[in-house]
Each structure stands twice: as structure tokens, then as C-alpha cells.
Amino acid sequence: MFSLVTLLVHLFLSLPSAWLVQASGFTTYRQLVEGANNDYNVAYQPLDRSDTLFVNVQILPNGSDHTCLWNDFTAMCNNHAGKNISVIPRMRYGKADGSITPEPDDANIIISDLNDWIGVLNSTSSIINIPIVQAGVLGQYGEWHHGPFCKDAGASSSSASLALKQKIVDGLLSTGVAQVALRNPRDHHVLAPNITAVTIHDDCIMAQGANGNDSGTFVEGDGQSWAYWKSYTQNVARINGGFGGEGCEDDPTNHNRYNWTDWATVCSTGSNGLITYINNMQISYLNCVKRRD
């Protein structure tokens, strides 16, 4: 994993003074894992060149009582409150060793966990600013892919999957947080096309450079090309705001893989530079750059 601070330093030190980048924040990554010792991440830690925490809240997929982890998240919010810090959380499933799993195949377990999470957000949103909550819950990494209820996206989803996805969106909206972010533009188009409080997050930004499909974030489907879904996302970002995510490198066998250590390109104002992508896609926040090999 590349250092976000290193990326940030190279990016902004390279900017010509006449250039202004679309107002974007760089988030500091944290993870709370059920069954692990989260004391370090719960305690207040100064944020390096950032005023926002991106937090994965990882629960066990066995339908157990998650009170200890909910308490950790609440304590983390309390410890960072009053310091002009915001939190962007995502609840997902995984193991106590930190590895991830998809959601359970029992919708009743998921709904029970979701309701608990909604309650936690209701209580913590009065403690600290939560501008966006990523929908999470379903799929590997909570990113709505490769799980029992997210085998496909958008109109191609099964009726059971769509019903559960809608329940997640509606439930998170009920918490009063400013926005809910969905991982896939096709799901956004089906579930919340006209709701400005629902936006999109992209966890494969620039995977093949500024002109790629971001490792399938923008993928052909529901009768439309991948370019259509990229344009759709751009429009959501322009109207709704709150679009963001994290950069990553595509599979090393992909010849179009973006080289995040080529600082001359990454920091350039050219067509394949991060600055251009931020401006074109109106990105609001960026997490760390994540290697996939």
C-alpha cells in the first residue's frame, strides 16, 4: 500500500500556482474489527494532512451480538469529537483476524445487523459530523460485489437482492446523515436516481488511468455501455456531490494498469493526471491508494 501522505505531498507540491484543484479532502484510514483489540484506532490520533476519518467497521457474519464493536465505534467518535474531524464509515463483514468475508446468506441476520448499525449511526451522528455513510453491508469489502445478495447490479439484480439493497438505502437515509453512498452506478440508477442524498463511491479510482473503467466500476450493463455509466456517475457527482473513494492499481496482468509511482504523470495537469481526474469527476474525498497484487 502506498503512503497517502507521500501521494499528497507529491501532488500538491507539483501544482502550478495558477491551478486550483476541485475541493477534495484526503481521508485518514481507520479500521475497527470485531474480535480484535481496537484500542489504538479508538483512541484519538492526530490526523496527518486530513480532517476526515474513513472507517471500516467490520463485524462477524454469524449473527452474534456486536455490542462491543458498536461501543468501540461510539468511543472512537467521542474521542475525536470537538476537534473539527468528520467520519465517513462503512459497515462490512469479516473475521476477527481482519480478513474480509461477504455478507451471510441469511437475509434476517443482515437485516438485524443493519438495524443495529442504524441505531449506532443515529446516536453517533449527534456526537461527530458524519457527512457520508457508505452503504456497505453487502459483498466483499462491503462493496456490493461477490456476495449472496450482490451477484449482479442494477436492473440485473434478483428481486430478493433489490429488496435488500433498497432496505439498506432507506434504512441509512433514515439516520439523518447527510448522504448515503452506493458502490455501483447501476444500483444508484435503480434504487435512488432522483434522491440527492444518495451519491456514489468508487474504490478503484484511476485503476487503468483517467480514461479507464475503474476496474469495472463503470461496466457495460442494463443496456448501456461502460462509458454511459461513467458519464452517469459524473452527473451524480455534479448534482448530488459527495462522490469519492480510493485509488487502486488494477491486476498486474492488465497492460493498462496505472502506475501510481510515476509521479510525473500522477501529479501532472495532463489528461492522465490525478488532478485532471479529480476535476473532471468532481471528487470530494480520496482514501489511500490500494495495491491489488
C-alpha Rg value of the chain to the nearest Å: 18
Cβ neighbours for 62, distance < 8 A, ≥ 6 positions apart: 104, 109
Average pLDDT over all residues of the chain: 87
**pLDDT tops 50 at residue 11:** no
- Quote the pTM value: 0.88
Query: Per the structure block, which three cell numbers stand in for 67?
Result: 455490542
Identify which has the larger pLDDT, 178 or 82.
82
**pLDDT tops 70 at residue 57:** yes
Distance CA 33, CA 13 (A): 35
Q: Determine the pLDDT at residue 253.
A: 64
Per residue in 253-286, is it b (16+ CB within 10 Å) or e — as a string? Answer: eeeebbebeebebbbbeeebbbbbbbbebbbbbb
Q: Determine the pLDDT at residue 206.
A: 82
Q: Determine the pLDDT at residue 250.
A: 64
CB 73 within 8 A of CB 31: no
Q: What is the pLDDT of residues 233-289, one digit of tens each?
A: 999 999 999 999 888 776 666 666 788 888 898 888 888 888 888 888 899 888 754
CB 21 within 8 A of CB 279: yes
Q: What sign does the dihedral 252-101-92-110 (CA atoms) show? A: positive
Q: What is the pLDDT of residues 80-123, one digit of tens each?
A: 999 999 999 999 999 999 999 999 999 999 999 999 999 999 99
Q: What is the pLDDT of residues 208-222, one digit of tens each?
A: 778 777 777 888 888
Q: Determine the pLDDT at residue 8.
A: 43
Question: In degrees rounded to 5, what are phi and psi of residue 246?
Answer: -140, 150
Q: What is the pLDDT of residues 141-166, one digit of tens each?
A: 999 999 999 999 999 999 999 999 99
- What's the whole-number mean pLDDT along residues 43-61? 91
Query: Per the structure block, which three cell numbers stand in for 21?
Result: 484543484
CB 255 within 8 A of CB 207: no
* Residue 287 Cα to chain centre, angstroms: 8
Q: Determine the pLDDT at residue 255.
A: 63
Q: Please, what is the angle between helix 274-281 and helix 226-240, to 10°? A: 70
